[in-house]
Amino acid sequence: MSAILHLAVKDLRIELRSKDMLSSMFLFSLLMVLAFRFAFADAFASGEAAAIDIASSSLWICFSFAAIIGMYSSFVKEKDRETLEGLLLCPVDRSTLYLGKALSNLVLVFIVDILSILFFSLFFSYDYDGHALEVVAIALAGTTTLVLIGTLTAAISVNARAREVLLPILLVPLIAFSVIIPCVSATKSALEGQMTEAVREISSILGFAVVFGAVGYLVFDYIFEG
Partner 1 sequence: MLNKKRLGLVAIVVAALLILLTTYLALFFAPIPQTSVEVANKVAPSVEGSRMQVAGFIGRLIFTNCTGNCTGSPAVLLADFSDYSRYTSAVEDSALDQPWWTIQPLIVEMPAGVSLDDLVLGTNLSAMGEVKKTQGFPSFQADYALAVESSDDVTIGGSSGEYEIVIAPISQKIFYFHMPSAWVCYVAFFVTLVGSILYLRSRNVNYDRLAFCSAELGVLFATLAITTGPIWAKEEWGVYWRWDDTKLVSTFILWLVYIGYLSLRAAIAETGTKARVSAVYGIIGFVTVPMSFLSSRVAPLIDSSHPEVIATSKGGLSAEAGITIGIAVVAFTILYTAMLIRRLGVAESADELEEIKREIGGE
User: Which spans of this chain sit near partner 1 (rule: CB under 8 A)?
Assistant: 149, 152-153, 156-157, 159-163, 166, 169-170, 172-174, 176-178, 181-182, 185, 200-201, 204, 207-208, 211-212, 215-216, 219, 222-223, 225-226
In the complex, minimum distance from the CB of residue 59 to partner 1, in angstroms, rounded to a whole number: 17
> Alpha-carbon distance 100 to 78, whole Å?
14
Helix locations, 81-93, DSSP H: 84-88
Tell me whether residue 3 or residue 199 sits nearer to partner 1 (CB atom). 199
φ, ψ of residue 126 to 5 degrees: the values are: -125, 130
In the complex, minimum distance from the CB of residue 36 to partner 1, in angstroms, rounded to a whole number: 22
Three-state SS for 97? helix
Tell me whether residue 144 or residue 157 sits nearer to partner 1 (CB atom). 157
Q: Which amino acid is at 200?
A: R
In the complex, minimum distance from the CB of residue 88 to partner 1, in angstroms, rounded to a whole number: 14
CB 106 within 8 A of CB 99: no
- Spacing of C-alpha 141 from chain mean position: 10
Tell me whether residue 12 or residue 181 sits nearer to partner 1 (CB atom). 181
In the complex, minimum distance from the CB of residue 177 to partner 1, in angstroms, rounded to a whole number: 4
> Alpha-carbon distance 196 to 189, whole Å?
9
* E strand spans, 47-102: none
Tell me whether residue 1 or residue 162 sits nearer to partner 1 (CB atom). 162
Tell me whether residue 104 or residue 185 sits nearer to partner 1 (CB atom). 185
In the complex, minimum distance from the CB of residue 75 to partner 1, in angstroms, rounded to a whole number: 12
